[in-house]
A and B are shown apart, each in its own frame.
Chain A
């Protein structure tokens, strides 16, 4: 049963600390997305990769967020330094080309 795997599922950290979230996309998928979900804003696109190349990261605060795909089986999202307003659920999703996306279970981040 192919699925997107995200780690960790939950993370509580102190303000100013670095946070790294990891994602293993579905094997064979060539697009990877990072989304942030909050009650007020819903799902917001943070970054988009196709064939491991970043095509859009305009949704990310560039001074503190970074997203990479070191290889086809791993995508990472880093926040440094973290702030309380970064508290949210972060989802990774993967897909084939321009079709529907398959989402992971998410990482619930709490910054205190």
Chain B
């Protein structure tokens, strides 16, 4: 069974204090790893897709990286508006007719001014 573990569960940062969120996964053949951002009372919003170990993607203050066992979401000089829950999800290769996506519980990030 595919598993996704995110750490820490919660993270509190001062504005400008860089840090990283971790997503460890166990999957029978990774097709893709997704990062989403979720604000309170809203649906998850897509950020990145990573497909192979060594791949990196960036968007503003966020950079996502991927190894064979985990992914990191690096946040550089965060601002209060970066406060949200960040979700990681993995998609396995074609199994039983489709490629199921499994989500982690998420990391709740709070950036204090």
Determine if B42 and A101 form an interchain contact, defined as CB atoms under 8 angstroms apart: no
Residues of A within 8 A of B104 (CB): 42
Given contacts A42-B105, A55-B97, A55-B98, contact A93 B43 (CB under 8 A): yes
Stretch at the interface among B44-52, B53-61, B63-71, B72-80: B44-52
Determine if B98 and A103 form an interchain contact, defined as CB atoms under 8 angstroms apart: no
Q: Assess whether A56 is interfacial by the CB under 8 Å rule.
A: yes
Determine if B42 and A100 form an interchain contact, defined as CB atoms under 8 angstroms apart: no
Interface size, chain A (Cβ < 8 Å): 21
Given contacts A45-B101, A55-B97, A55-B98, contact A103 B106 (CB under 8 A): no
Interface size, chain B (Cβ < 8 Å): 24
Given contacts A43-B87, A98-B32, A98-B91, contact A106 B100 (CB under 8 A): no
B:29-48 near A, CB below 8 Å? 31-32, 34, 36, 41-46
Q: Which of B31, B44, B102 has the most CB of A within 10 A?
A: B44
Distance A45 CA – B105 CA, assembled complex (angstroms): 13
Q: Assess whether B86 is interfacial by the CB under 8 Å rule.
A: no
Distance A35 CA – B91 CA, assembled complex (angstroms): 15
Determine if B34 and A98 form an interchain contact, defined as CB atoms under 8 angstroms apart: no
Residues of A within 8 A of B91 (CB): 98
Q: Assess whether B14 is interfacial by the CB under 8 Å rule.
A: no
15 other contacts beyond A56-B100, A100-B46, A106-B43, with CB at 8 A cut-off?
A33-B101, A35-B103, A42-B87, A42-B104, A55-B98, A93-B43, A98-B31, A98-B99, A100-B34, A101-B101, A102-B46, A103-B44, A105-B41, A105-B43, A106-B41
Chain A interface (Cβ < 8 Å from any Cβ of B): 4, 33, 35, 42-43, 45, 48, 50, 55-56, 91, 93, 98-106
